[in-house]
Structure 1
Amino acid sequence: MTQRGRGGARPGQGPGARRRREDEESRVPAAPRIDLTAARARVRAVIEPVVIAAGYDLEDVSIARAGRRHVVRVLVDTDGGISLDDVAVVSREMSAALDAAEEGGAEVLAGEYQLEVGSPGVDRPLTLPRHWRRNRGRLVAVNGLTGRIVDVDDTGVVLDVDGTPRELRFDELGAGKVQIEFKRLDEADFGDDEDEDDDEGEGEE
């Protein structure tokens, strides 16, 4: 049977208990203050060779304080995309490389940290030639234009803008943004037309 204190509060949940928990939380050390820009560079130097050796591109590294630890977020990608299993494997390899660097005497990141590895979403800006190449066929907005990527080479891209091809060089392109497309209702295939035909044919002699 659960015992309850005065006012329906469970044991350990009264005002005194709350004060004790707040005191305990206040004694939890915060993540040490570090130069996040320098730490990001150190982390990148350790993990980038691991990512390249695995056949991927290191798209971004960011570090943020979160309570008593730092959160290291890493984005990796490759042509054709990267699976969750691939992310898990390269994440373990990155973690091992960071541990080895620390054990070797290099202070990569002071204090505790949490490593989060993922792949870029469609909201990531297209800033490098490989980003444009990997989004061939998608609708994008850039430089005040909205068009579909129909070709990408070493110098630039070709967009289909309302049926007209527009060639744009990388050196004149800003950051592109992939546009989310929804299939038109009149183009949607609900998959039940055949069933309706079958139903209409039942009972006919």
Structure 2
Amino acid sequence: MTRDTGLQELLDGALAGSGLVVDEVTVTPAGRRRVVKVVVDRELPDVGADGFTEMTEPLSLDEIADATRTVSDALDDSDVLGEQSYTLEVTSPGVSRPLTQPRHFQRNVGRLVTVQLRDGDPVTGRITRASADDVVVTVPAAKKSPARDETIPYAAIDRAEVQVEFARKDDKES
């Protein structure tokens, strides 16, 4: 078992039952120390036949603080990182993080995204459903085209990212 595999398994076990999952772990050298960055996210329920259609609440600062204590305790009680000192950073996925896995799309239902297709033009719209196999993006009406829903298989996506909205215009407003 490699250090990275052991670290992932250790942290997965430490956070089991907390409602959080480890999204990513990186260990980066920084002089005589290392920086251990752990990205945690809310555990999502199993995807039903219809996929996710509701927005997922972002993590609170209290949840991140609890996760930090749990991860720190697990690392202190383990020798998976060896004797070299490290700095621990526990964070949630930021808005600038690319969407690379189905659960990333599922977590971002309701958000505005830009999806670059492998064979085609980019699609910008709001995620209205995300299943295990594909995502539905609602593209707003433009000058020459009506609003439409595009079902995009994950395999057809080259890259995707959430677009920052400072003033979201809901459909309820006129």
Pairwise same-fold verdict (TM > 0.5)? yes
Partner of 2:109: 136
Larger radius of gyration, structure 1 or 2? 1
Among 175, 182, 187, the alignment partner of 2:159 is 175
1:54 corresponds to which letter in structure 2? S
Equivalences for residues 49-198 of structure 1 within 5 A: 49-78=13-42, 79-102=56-79, 107-142=80-115, 143=117, 144-162=122-140, 163-183=147-167
CA offsets 1:29-76 (integer angstroms, 9 cap, x no match): xxxxxxxxx433332121111123312121111111122211101010
For the 8 Å contact 1:43–1:109, the answer to whether it is kept is no
Considering Cα pairs closer than 8 Å and 6+ residues apart, tell me whether 1 or 2 has the greater RCO: 2
The normalised TM-score by structure 2 is 0.74
Count of matched residue positions in the alignment of Structure 1 and Structure 2 = 143
The normalised TM-score by structure 1 is 0.63
2:132 corresponds to which letter in structure 1? D
Deviation for aligned residue 1:171: 2.5
Identity of aligned residues (%): 38
Task: Provide the alpha-carbon RMSD of the alignment.
Answer: 1.9
Segments of 5+ residues of structure 2 without an aligned counterpart are 43-55, 141-146, 169-174
Inter-CA distance 81–68: structure 2 relative to 1 (3 Å threshold): same
Kindly report structure 1 stretches of 4+ aligned residues shifted beyond 3 Å.
none
Deviation for aligned residue 1:170: 2.1
Segments of 5+ residues of structure 1 without an aligned counterpart are 1-37, 185-205
1:177 corresponds to which letter in structure 2? E
Secondary structure at the residue paired with 2:77?
helix
CA offsets 1:84-105 (integer angstroms, 9 cap, x no match): 1111112111121122222xxx
Partner of 1:43: 7
Deviation for aligned residue 1:150: 1.5
Give the number of the structure whose residues are more often helix, by fraction: 1
Deviation for aligned residue 1:183: 3.2
Secondary structure at the residue paired with 1:70?
strand
